[in-house]
Structure 1
Amino acid sequence: MDAGAAAAGTAVVVGGGISGLLAARELARAGVRATVLEASGSWGGCVGSHVVAGLTLDSGAESFATRSSAVADLAVELGLACEIVPPNPGGAWVQLPDGPRELPKTGVLGIPANPWDPEVRRSLGLLGSLRAALDALLPASLGTAADVTSVAALVRARMGSRVLDRLVAPVVGGVHSADPALLDVDMVAPGLRAGIRRHGSLAAAVAAQRRGGAAAETAEPKKRDPQPAGLRKAGSAVAGLRGGMHTLVSALLADLRRRGVTLLSGTAADAVERTAHGWRVTAGGASYDAGLLVVAVEGTAAVGLLADTLPRLAGLRPDAGPDVSLVTLVVDLPELDAAPRGTGVLVAPQSPGIQAKALTHATAKWAWLADRTGPGTHVLRLSYGRGGDPGAAVPRSDDELFNAALNDASALLSVPVTGGDVVGWDVVRWAGALPFASLGHKQRVAEVRGICAADGSLAVVGGWLSGNGLAAIVADTPKLVRTLLS
């Protein structure tokens, strides 16, 4: 068999994170023989797991957004329909400089759909809600006319600094690990500015997205909704899987093996090059030839691999994402049975004495986990590191993070958490793994995709292109691979 015949109908996928696995699945469904190369010894990237105090817990993503049905559809296809669960209804809180408040449940990125909602008024005060309500009287062009706008600029212009500082900054810091002044609103909240033009105000655009209008704002058809009815009520913007989100990766790997996909972990791609019949990937002294190539690694690494072959990509290297550390504490502390701060707390950057940007009370959030641990035992997860915050980039030892987590958990939950209460703990570090959608990133994404599409045998996928969040990646990756195959 000559090289051309051998390459036909084959593909190499570089990267075994969730986007790489999804790409391999789409290729296999089309009859393409796919090989996935993963540098580490584990699969799924930021959708991973670790064992703490005998519990298998999520080490990365622990929920997914339900404003689209992408993740739920995938779970259904993988036989996990009955495992989709809503969080407990307690809701999250926000830690402000003047104390904790309940976080409004009907917002997007913390932006309220109704400035007069009682929870919003408690956080903003009368004058703050009054300023936010002026949004309805402002022209729809305000904040939507410029080609590029940050989250902070849009919110400040339309609803004022109090909404930005007390609602949006804590949510954006917790979800995207970044300062909202640095983030491109069109990447982290697709369709929101178009919604302002369509509905006349930012609050109305948020309300439309909360009703499931995000697909309409981006002119994409809405898909069937396989989610349980409990996931569709206001305030349930996320859902999870019984057992943890990492079970999605386990099901996906089983599906790939059934489809004959070759999965090679501990195999780091050193270089890629064009050949007469497609692509050659060199990894650990071995070569892998294929007709198609999918690069599914973080942005800096992707551009580094492809820049020699596609020099136009060299100038489109994305900004590095923030370094994030997650500290998981399993504690024996019956005082937390009452869930004093609901499902967790997001922290406003200016809150004194607290280093964490967020705390998730996992056993208060997920009934299945509380059932597994039993009364009195609780799982707390605290997140550290925020893009644009110089202090967040300072390396800290595991012991320093552990002590910070004890102090922060005590302050945020108003219940003393001591080392003697801890029955197990772990630190997981994500160095630059979160995609960073800085200003102008949407335009860079369009250029990267245009260059790759012009090649005709290459696709580049991942959160740095689709946008942060599992739902964005799951919706985007199969679509790009189908375009490649067509």
Structure 2
Amino acid sequence: MGSPTKPARTALVLGGGISGLLAARELAAAGLTVTVVEATENWGGCVGSHVVAGLTLDSGAESFATRSSAVADLVRELGLAGKIVEPRPGGAWVQLPDGPRELPKTGVLGIPANPWDPEVRRSLGFVGSLRASLDRFLPASVGASKDVSSVSALVRARMGRRVLDRLVAPVVGGVHSADPGLLDVDMVAPGLRAGIRSHGSLAAAVAAQRSRPAALPAALPPSGASGSSDAGRRPLAKAGSAVASLEGGMHTLISALVADLQGRGVTLKSGSAAKNVARAGDGWRVTAADSTYDAGLLVVGLPGPAAVGLLQAAVPALAGRSPESGPDVRLVTLVVDVPELDSRPRGTGILVAPQAPGIEAKALTHATAKWDWLAAAAGPGTHVLRLSYGRLEGPATAGVRATGPAPASDPELLAAALSDASALLEVQLDRKDVVDWDVVRWEGALPFAAVGHKARVAEVRALCAEQPGVAIVGGWVAGNGLAAVVSDTRQEIQKLLG
């Protein structure tokens, strides 16, 4: 049992995902004695790793958005600035019912900045681009005046169903594993509706977001400056890069963060699931596994349902405010020996429109075509493919959502992945081509920003703010993506300390 002498100078963090680890770092930097408890044996949550065919690969998030400096700043602080890499040029594709098309490069959630771009017109056709271009003549209030709106309602109102079905649905399905009719546009694309009011149209709002300079170093340090070879890296100078990653994988960020916490004297307790939370004098008391912890400050970095469920006893007003669980996603990683894929037939990968026949995957990432460092590590002719399965279908009816059809067992997933990859890449892949493979399951762990979610998050945080010394962090309150999580976590911890 922990019983600190000065509870006000101690902090307990529940959850060892990136939000929990970053919260612990901020608290330790402020001089507090910090303990982090994590239910599993692994740190990093959805930023994890696994070994497939001898390659240490990302098992979850494999990149971060560069539209803010949040992640890049953290990377620099941890001494990893020289490891930042951008994806290989070439872009991604989308699989439509009538075949594959190049995905427009100047979009947000698949929403085009210019409906008449050649890539957009090839996907939409003349009539689709004509309808989408009417967006510029609509009043700014269309789609932007309601308190809440789904992604699909906004896109359909301003640009039409063809943009929604052929561009937005594949992107949203690939990124958020959900139907765009289920998602709160203000959570998954913050500032987009405000941009319509400022710039007069949805296309102009998208163009404004895309024109912001990428928050990356102007260039990488000279060879050897980071203590490793520059092989497999690409220089960073283009403002148009929407995402970046780290040489070696995003999971290296977690390794660096854990090492940083250990250097700061933070206590890390894995395999210790929190069971109950209660007020204890001026602080908090938490039971986790067989231990009890007393602390002046409490940070809850757990998925939404678990966070609200644990805090309900101490904050009764939270009853009935638990968010919906996220989608159950299955990620199949294939390492294949297929030299025909050296030509990168679908660029960095391909997203799948829900109505595309015969394909069960919602997206395929050609990881060795996307990241030069990984291609160098895998070697000529060897390729890493990531296929994801599981998407929440909509619209929601009476709170019930159906999960799209997807294979369940590992053998079924392997068979589906080989079939889907063959169809999507137009290169036949057989079991004999597979060097190694793995399945990673994310069961309800990914953030799910249902329509109205932003308002519900605000209510939950307002209720918790009435209790001194507690903060809630994580993707379900911050929004999907590492940039949103890092930025939000730092803001919330500064509020807590203040």
TM-score by length of 1: 0.96
Distance 1:224 1:361 in 2: 25
Could you tell me whether the CA contact under 8 Å between 2:339 and 2:381 is conserved in 1?
Answer: yes
Could you tell me whether the CA contact under 8 Å between 2:217 and 2:237 is conserved in 1?
Answer: no
Distance 1:157 1:361 in 2: 34
Matches within 5 A, 1:221-232: 225-226=216-217, 228=219, 231=236
> How far did 1:235 drift?
4.8
Distance 1:103 1:234 in 2: 19
Is 2:421 aligned against 1:409? yes
Alignment partner for residue 301 of structure 1, among 299, 306, 313? Answer: 306
| One-letter amino acid matched to 2:295 | A
Could you tell me whether the CA contact under 8 Å between 1:115 and 1:129 is conserved in 2?
Answer: yes
> How far did 1:277 drift?
3.0
> How far did 1:288 drift?
0.7
1:74-129 deviations in Å (ceiling 9; x for gaps): 10110010100000001000000000000000000000001111110111111111
Could you tell me whether the CA contact under 8 Å between 1:92 and 1:103 is conserved in 2?
Answer: yes
Is 2:309 aligned against 1:318? no
| One-letter amino acid matched to 1:150 | S
Is 2:243 aligned against 1:238? yes
Could you tell me whether the CA contact under 8 Å between 1:84 and 1:227 is conserved in 2?
Answer: no
Distance 2:254 2:286 in 1: 25
1:251-310 deviations in Å (ceiling 9; x for gaps): 101111111110011111111111013011101121011001000000000011001110
Distance 1:134 1:13 in 2: 50
Could you tell me whether the CA contact under 8 Å between 2:68 and 2:215 is conserved in 1?
Answer: no
| One-letter amino acid matched to 1:418 | D
Could you tell me whether the CA contact under 8 Å between 1:106 and 1:234 is conserved in 2?
Answer: no
Q: Which residue of 2 aligns with 1:470?
A: 482
Distance 2:497 2:237 in 1: 34
| One-letter amino acid matched to 2:190 | P
Q: What's the Cα RMSD here?
A: 1.6
Matches within 5 A, 1:105-124: 105-124=105-124
Unaligned runs of 5+ in 1: 214-222
Q: 1:227 to 1:442 in 2, by over 3 A?
A: farther
Name whichever of 4-13 and 142-151 sits farther off: 4-13
Distance 2:479 2:46 in 1: 14
Q: Which residue of 2 aligns with 1:148?
A: 148
Distance 2:173 2:468 in 1: 38
SS of the equivalent of 2:244 reads strand
Could you tell me whether the CA contact under 8 Å between 2:67 and 2:215 is conserved in 1?
Answer: no
Instruction: Kindly tell me the number of residue pairs found equivalent between the two proteins.
Output: 476
Q: Which residue of 1 aligns with 2:442?
A: 430
Could you tell me whether the CA contact under 8 Å between 1:231 and 1:239 is conserved in 2?
Answer: no
Is 2:400 aligned against 1:400? no
Is 2:344 aligned against 1:339? yes
Is 2:289 aligned against 1:284? yes
SS of the equivalent of 2:130 reads helix
| One-letter amino acid matched to 1:34 | V
SS of the equivalent of 2:364 reads strand
| One-letter amino acid matched to 2:266 | V
> How far did 1:451 drift?
1.2
Distance 2:12 2:441 in 1: 28
Instruction: Name whichever structure is richer in helix by fraction.
Output: 1
1:349-407 deviations in Å (ceiling 9; x for gaps): 00000000000000000000000011100000000010126343767101100100000
| One-letter amino acid matched to 2:303 | E
Could you tell me whether the CA contact under 8 Å between 1:323 and 1:392 is conserved in 2?
Answer: no
Is 2:466 aligned against 1:461? no
| One-letter amino acid matched to 1:158 | R
Alignment partner for residue 350 of structure 1, among 355, 358, 361? Answer: 355
Q: Which residue of 1 aligns with 2:17?
A: 17
Is 2:457 aligned against 1:445? yes
Could you tell me whether the CA contact under 8 Å between 2:336 and 2:434 is conserved in 1?
Answer: yes
Q: 1:36 to 1:393 in 2, by over 3 A?
A: farther
Q: Which residue of 2 aligns with 1:164?
A: 164
1:114-158 deviations in Å (ceiling 9; x for gaps): 111111011111111111110000000000111010000000000
> How far did 1:462 drift?
0.4
Distance 2:454 2:393 in 1: 19
Q: Which residue of 1 aligns with 2:226?
A: none
Could you tell me whether the CA contact under 8 Å between 1:243 and 1:368 is conserved in 2?
Answer: yes
Q: Which residue of 2 aligns with 1:220?
A: none
Q: Which residue of 2 aligns with 1:376?
A: 381
Distance 2:383 2:3 in 1: 57
Could you tell me whether the CA contact under 8 Å between 1:4 and 1:277 is conserved in 2?
Answer: no
Identity %: 72
| One-letter amino acid matched to 2:117 | D
1:152-181 deviations in Å (ceiling 9; x for gaps): 000000000000000000000000000000
| One-letter amino acid matched to 2:333 | T
Distance 1:121 1:481 in 2: 46
Distance 2:426 2:383 in 1: 15
Distance 2:28 2:403 in 1: 45
Q: 1:178 to 1:339 in 2, by over 3 A?
A: same
| One-letter amino acid matched to 1:33 | T
TM-score by length of 2: 0.93
Distance 1:394 1:310 in 2: 39
